C-alpha cells in the first residue's frame, strides 16, 4: 500500500468512526501518515538498540571465588565466630597462636626457614587437627594486621572444605597437576578480610607424588618468600594414616602436632614425633582435651600447649 492509499484509508476510517466528514486536505492526511510512520520506526529502532545492549551477564572472577560461612552452624559445632572475643576458647587460641605468630613474623623469623608455613597434623584421625586448623586461622585473621592463607592439604579427605561448606572446585591438586592454572585461580576470598582459602581440589591417585613434586616445593618457597608477611596454615592428613603429611612436613617451618588427650596411645605419639624430628626447625605439641560427640558435632574444650625441642 503506497502513501496516498494509506492516507485515503485513514480518512475513510476516521469518517466511519465519527459519522462526520473529516475536514482535512489530502496533503494534511499524507503528512499525518508520514509522521506516524516515523514515530513507529523510532520505537522499533529503540527496541532494537535495547536488545543489542542486553548482553549476557558475565560473573566476576572475584565474586565467583568468594565464599561466606554458616556462622550459626559453626558456632554450634564449637568453632570461633567473628564476635567471639571473650570466651574460653577464644582466650585459649590466643595462647596457642602467640608463639606461632612470633616465630613466623616476629623476632625469631630470621632463625627459622619457611617460618610462616605452619603444618597442622595428628597421629591418627579424630584428634582435632582440622578443628584446630580452622580455629587457629580464624583467630590469627581476626587481628587487624595479620593475613592467613588456609590450605586444605588433606587431599584424600578434604575436611576443611567439608566443615566450611565449600563446594567441590579446583584446588591444590589441580594446580600441581595443571601448568595452565595460576595460583590466583584456586585462592578463595572469604568474608573475613584477612583470610583466604585454597581447597584440596579433585581426588587423584597420585596425590602423594604431586605433594612431593618440584612444583609443590616451588609453591612452598613462593608462599614463604613472596608472601612472607602472611601466615600459611596447612591442614594435612594424620601422620600414621598416610605419608602425605610427612612429605609436606619437610617443606614447613613450623609443625603443630595435635594429640588427643586420653585417647591417643603414647607409642603412636612417639612414632609421630620421630617422623617429624628432621622435618622442621620447630615442632609444637597441642594436647587436645576436647570430647567430641561424632553424632551431634558438639564440642567441649580444654587445651594444653607445649614445645618439643630436639637436642643436637
Q: What is the pLDDT of residues 43-52, one digit of tens each?
A: 444 434 444 3
pLDDT recorded at residue 164 = 95
State residue 233 phi and psi, 5-degree precision.
-105, 125
User: For residues 158 and 135, what is the distance between their CA atoms, to the nearest angstrom?
Assistant: 16
Most confident of 94-98, 132-136, 279-283: 132-136
Residue 172, pLDDT above cutoff 70: yes
| pLDDT average, residue stretch 95-112 | 89
pLDDT recorded at residue 154 = 95
Residue 296, pLDDT above cutoff 90: no
> Of 128, 164, 167, 134, which is closest to residue 286 (Cα–Cα)?
128
pLDDT recorded at residue 139 = 95
User: For residues 289 and 133, what is the distance between their CA atoms, to the nearest angstrom?
Assistant: 16
Structure-model confidence comparison of residues 61 and 1, the more confident one: 1
With 0.85 as the threshold, say if the pTM is over it: no
Enter the C-alpha cell of residue 249. Answer: 612436613
* Per-residue pLDDT tens over the stretch 17-63: 545 554 555 555 556 555 655 555 544 444 344 443 444 333 333 45
pLDDT recorded at residue 308 = 40
Q: How many CB atoms lie under 10 A from the CB of residue 239? A: 26
pLDDT recorded at residue 61 = 37
pLDDT recorded at residue 37 = 55
Average pLDDT, the chain: 79
Amino acid at each position: 500500500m503506497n502513501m496516498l492509499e494509506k492516507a485515503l484509508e485513514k480518512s475513510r476510517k476516521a469518517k466511519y468512526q465519527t459519522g462526520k466528514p473529516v475536514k482535512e486536505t489530502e496533503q494534511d492526511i499524507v503528512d499525518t501518515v508520514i509522521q506516524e510512520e516515523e514515530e513507529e520506526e523510532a520505537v522499533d529502532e529503540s527496541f532494537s538498540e535495547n536488545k543489542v545492549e542486553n548482553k549476557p551477564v558475565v560473573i566476576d572472577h572475584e565474586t565467583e571465588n568468594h565464599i561466606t560461612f554458616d556462622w550459626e552452624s559453626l558456632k554450634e559445632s564449637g568453632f570461633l565466630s567473628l564476635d567471639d572475643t571473650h570466651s574460653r576458647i577464644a582466650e585459649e587460641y590466643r595462647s596457642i597462636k602467640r608463639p606461632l605468630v612470633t616465630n613466623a613474623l616476629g623476632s625469631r623469623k630470621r632463625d627459622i626457614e619457611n617460618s610462616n608455613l605452619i603444618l597442622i597434623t595428628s597421629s591418627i584421625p579424630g584428634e582435632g587437627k582440622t578443628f584446630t586448623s580452622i580455629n587457629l586461622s580464624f583467630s590469627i585473621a581476626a587481628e587487624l594486621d595479620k593475613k592467613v592463607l588456609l590450605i586444605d592439604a588433606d587431599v584424600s579427605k578434604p575436611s576443611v572444605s567439608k566443615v566450611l561448606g565449600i563446594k567441590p572446585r579446583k584446588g591444590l591438586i589441580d594446580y600441581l597437576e595443571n601448568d595452565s592454572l595460576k595460583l590466583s585461580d584456586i585462592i578463595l576470598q572469604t568474608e573475613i578480610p584477612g583470610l583466604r582459602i585454597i581447597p584440596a581440589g579433585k581426588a587423584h591417585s597420585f596425590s602423594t607424588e604431586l605433594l612431593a613434586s618440584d612444583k609443590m616445593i616451588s609453591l612452598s618457597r613462593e608462599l614463604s618468600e613472596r608472601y612472607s608477611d602472611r601466615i600459611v596454615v596447612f591442614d594435612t592428613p594424620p601422620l600414621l594414616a598416610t605419608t602425605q603429611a610427612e612429605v609436606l612436613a619437610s617443606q614447613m617451618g613450623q609443625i603443630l602436632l595435635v594429640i588427643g588427650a586420653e585417647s591417643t596411645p603414647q607409642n603412636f605419639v612417639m612414632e609421630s614425633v620421630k617422623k617429624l624430628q628432621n622435618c622442621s626447625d620447630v615442632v609444637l605439641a597441642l594436647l587436645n582435651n576436647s570430647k567430641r560427640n561424632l553424632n551431634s558435632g558438639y564440642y567441649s574444650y580444654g587445651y594444653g600447649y607445649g614445645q618439643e625441642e630436639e637436642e643436637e
